[in-house]
Structures are given as C-alpha cells and as structure tokens.
Amino acid sequence: MQSKILDNMTNRQDLINRVENIVKSIIQQTMDGQLPIINNVSSSSIDVLIDNDDEDDDDLENDEMNLEDKEEDDEEEDEDEELIDDPDIMPNDNHKNIVVNFSGKCGEFQLPLMMIILAKAHKLITSNAYQTKRSLYYELKSEGLVDEQRIVDHYINKTASLLKSKGLMSGNIKLSLENDRTIDCDALGGVLIPQANSNIIKIESSISFIIVVEKDAVFQKLLLEECPKKFNCLVVTGKGYPDVATRIFLKLIIEKLNVPAYIMVDADPHGIEIMCVYKYGSASLEWEKSSLISSKIQWIGIAPSEIWRLNVKSHPLSNCDEKKLESLEKKTYLSDEIKNELNILRQGKVDIEAVSKISTNFLTEIYIPCKIPHLKKIKTSLIN
C-alpha cells in the first residue's frame, strides 16, 4: 500500500490555518479602524453558495456542516453557475472573485454570524466532529440571531466559499490521488491546485523548474506562449495573494521533485509583498516555517532597478502603495538587495503586463530565458 504524501491530518490543519487567517484578517482590519473586507478568488464553481429552496426539513437534518465536505472535486464543477443575489458579494466574471464586504447594509448582521460560523467550524475541525445545519440553526435561533434555516445555510456556504482553493498550475505533472483519481496538470488553461484532502499519493514529472507568477492574466499569457512546453516547467499562480493550499502545494512540489523555483511579480509594493509571502511567510508564525514557506524560491523580477533598462513607462505610487512600501521596509528579514529595490521603487511602479508588451512573446523569448541560469546558457549559445 502506498503511503500518502498528504493525509487527512494535513487537510484539517490546512483548513484550521485558513479559518484562523480569515479571522486574523478581520481582527486586524478592525484594529486598523477599517470596515472588514474578505477577498478570495476561485476559478471553480461558486455553487456552494446556491441554496435549494425546495430542500425539505428531513434533507436538512441529514446535511452535515463539516466544511471539509465543501472541498471536493473543484475542478469538476460547472463554471457557468451564478452567485446568489447578495449585495455583499461582488463577483468578477473572469476570475469568480468573491468579495465579502462587511461595510454593506447587511454588515452588522453578517459579520457576527460569519464569525460564529468560523468559530464553530474551527472547533469542529480541530475535534474532528460534525454538526448538522439544522442543529446549528436551532442553536442560533434560540439566541435570537436568525429566524430562518435558509439564512444559516446561506452563510455556511458563503463561509465555505472563502476556504476554497484558488491557485492554478500547468505543466508536465501527473498527480495520483486516492480512489484511483488522477490530475493531469497539462490541461488547457491550467488546473486547480488540489486541496490537501485530495490525498496525493504519487507525483510523476520530469519538469526542470517551477515558475510562479502573481496574476492569472500573466499565467494565461504564459500558457498562450506555451511556456510549460517550451521550457519543460510548471507554471503556478495564486491569483494574487496565495491561499494556504497553493503555498502548501508549491512547497511540496519543490521538495519532492527537488527542482528550482522562481517567482515573477509586478514591480510594485503589492507584488513584492506577494513574493515575500511565498518566500518568508505571511506573518511571524512559527508553524509557517515548516509547512508553508518556500524559502528557496528565487525572485527573478520584475525588479524596480530594471524598469529604466526595459524602457517601460512607470507610474507613480498611490497612497496605498506608499503605506504598503513603508510596511515592507520595516521587515527585518529582507536582504539588502530587496531593501535596495524597495528604495528604487519609490521612483515608480510597473506591472508584468506592460513588460510583456515590449515585443511579441517577450516574456518567453527574452525575459524569462535571461533570468533563469540554465535557460540563459541556452539563450547565449543560440545567439552565438
């Protein structure tokens, strides 16, 4: 019998970490005097947000609330589903961007309710226990918080949607999962990075390296330029700030395949912070050192110091950028090289898309080959 690379205990810890990170974000924004906003992007269906109004009480009684059940088969979901009509969720058709905005008219009601559900989910997951939706409904009703079952269902599903994986990957990798399932990561448009509960038991691949990019738009452009095939690499994106599942999976692949990993982000404060999340962690948390941080990942651009050489027009930093930059400059673990780049960044920012427009296929024909050591040697030999 094959041993699991990722087991159910890892899955539960993954979910616990994601619940805690959401709560931390809400608390931090509140302490900063802001009305909390939670943002998650998923390419998968959002049908977990859609309630069945015809569902009878007997069915509800048997419907368990364990949020782990919401993680199954993301890649097989129907991407044409629509979101529930909710003024506090704002979808983006291209990336299924879920934004839960507690500053909306329902904020005073939904914030405490979602915090209660998150706390309940945390307790259930840590104790490996279950509770039915119906049971939770009666519990909340007795406290005067809700008066209808469908409201509880809706906010359970909304909370579960925030815990979904959002990362994408594409390349010559095949994952063998339990129950004889396989994931071919070479599919057109990329595939969703699996949640830890996928129970990966085998990884088959001959890739030479991994390249992580900040945004889905750049990820899709690299696929159009056949980057995975051209360089025999795995291309990964966390679609902005990466979720825990993406970071766990990236670390797993780097360690199991023993291949180098590189990251390319926008030359702006948010891009550099995203690079730092992958390389150093999202906060000073001890558990991240062993489970999430890909310390060997190398930042290959876009570096603020090369903006002038690329002859790309830069844009002034916004007030938000300035605050983010000041926050980054206070991080003591950054190398002198990164600190120097942050200093140069004050002169202006540039995104990857602007660099990609320098010439046709500029990223895969020029930029990436010049940034990655063994590709640079190949590029030089071809020129000579």
Q: List, for residues 117-127, the tens digit of each pLDDT value.
A: 889 988 888 88
Residues 124 and 186 in one domain: no
> Which of 121, 141, 161 is the last residue in one of the domains?
161
Q: Is the pLDDT of residue 261 over 90?
A: yes
Give the structural domain span for 115: 35-161
Query: Two tokens at 94?
Result: 């291209």
Q: For the chain, report the end-to-end CA distance as a whole number of angstroms.
A: 52
Query: For the segment 155-174, what is each residue's pLDDT rounded down to a tens digit?
Result: 888 777 776 667 899 999 99
**H/E run at residue 203:** strand 200-205
Q: Which ranges constitute the DSSP H helices of the chain?
A: 8-31, 57-61, 107-126, 133-142, 149-161, 216-224, 227-231, 244-257, 269-280, 288-291, 307-310, 319-329, 336-345, 352-356, 362, 368-371, 373-383
Query: For the segment 72-116, what is each residue's pLDDT rounded down to a tens digit?
Result: 333 333 332 222 223 333 333 333 445 565 656 566 677 888 888
Read off the DSSP letter of residue 193: P
Residues 80 and 193 in one domain: no
Alpha carbon distance 334, 58 (integer Å): 56
Say if 7 falls within a structural domain: no
Say if 17 falls within a structural domain: no
Say if 97 falls within a structural domain: yes
Residues 237 and 218 in one domain: yes
Kindly state the average pLDDT of the residues 229-257: 89
The pLDDT confidence band at residue 51, using thresholds 50, 70 and 90, is very low
The whole-chain average pLDDT of the chain stands at: 75
The pLDDT confidence band at residue 301, using thresholds 50, 70 and 90, is confident
Alpha carbon distance 299, 303 (integer Å): 9
Alpha carbon distance 302, 316 (integer Å): 16
- 40 or 204, higher pLDDT: 204
Residues 229 and 152 in one domain: no
Residue 341's nearest CA partner among 269, 288, 255, 240 is 269
Amino acid residing at 308? W
With vertex at residue 242, the alpha carbon angle to CA 228 and CA 176, rounded to the nearest 5 degrees, is 55
CATH number of residue 318's parent domain: 3.40.1360.10
Say if 4 falls within a structural domain: no
Query: Reduced to 3 states, what is the DSSP secondary structure of residue 37?
Result: strand
Say if 332 falls within a structural domain: yes
pLDDT of residue 164: 66
Count of the separate structural domains present in the chain: 2
Query: Reduced to 3 states, what is the DSSP secondary structure of residue 183?
Result: strand
- 38: β partners: 100
8 A C-beta contact, residue 169 and residue 185: yes
> Which of 161, 180, 212 is the last residue in one of the domains?
161
Residues 220 and 131 in one domain: no
Q: Is the pLDDT of residue 361 over 80?
A: yes
Alpha carbon distance 160, 199 (integer Å): 20
Say if 2 falls within a structural domain: no
Alpha carbon distance 294, 252 (integer Å): 9
Residues 106 and 183 in one domain: no
Alpha carbon distance 96, 360 (integer Å): 29
Residues 154 and 189 in one domain: no
Say if 244 falls within a structural domain: yes
The residues annotated as belonging to the active site are: 138
| Cα 25 versus chain centre, distance | 15
8 A C-beta contact, residue 102 and residue 118: no
> Which of 99, 127, 161 is the last residue in one of the domains?
161
Residues 73 and 221 in one domain: no
Residues 246 and 130 in one domain: no
Alpha carbon distance 94, 307 (integer Å): 29
Say if 252 falls within a structural domain: yes
pLDDT of residue 72: 37
Residues 174 and 216 in one domain: yes
Using a cut of 0.85, tell me whether the model's pTM lies above it.
no
Q: Is the pLDDT of residue 139 over 50?
A: yes
Residues 204 and 258 in one domain: yes
8 A C-beta contact, residue 189 and residue 223: yes
Kindly state the average pLDDT of the residues 64-71: 39
Query: Two tokens at 362?
Result: 């500029």
pLDDT of residue 104: 61
Query: Two tokens at 325?
Result: 């930059």
Residues 378 and 306 in one domain: yes
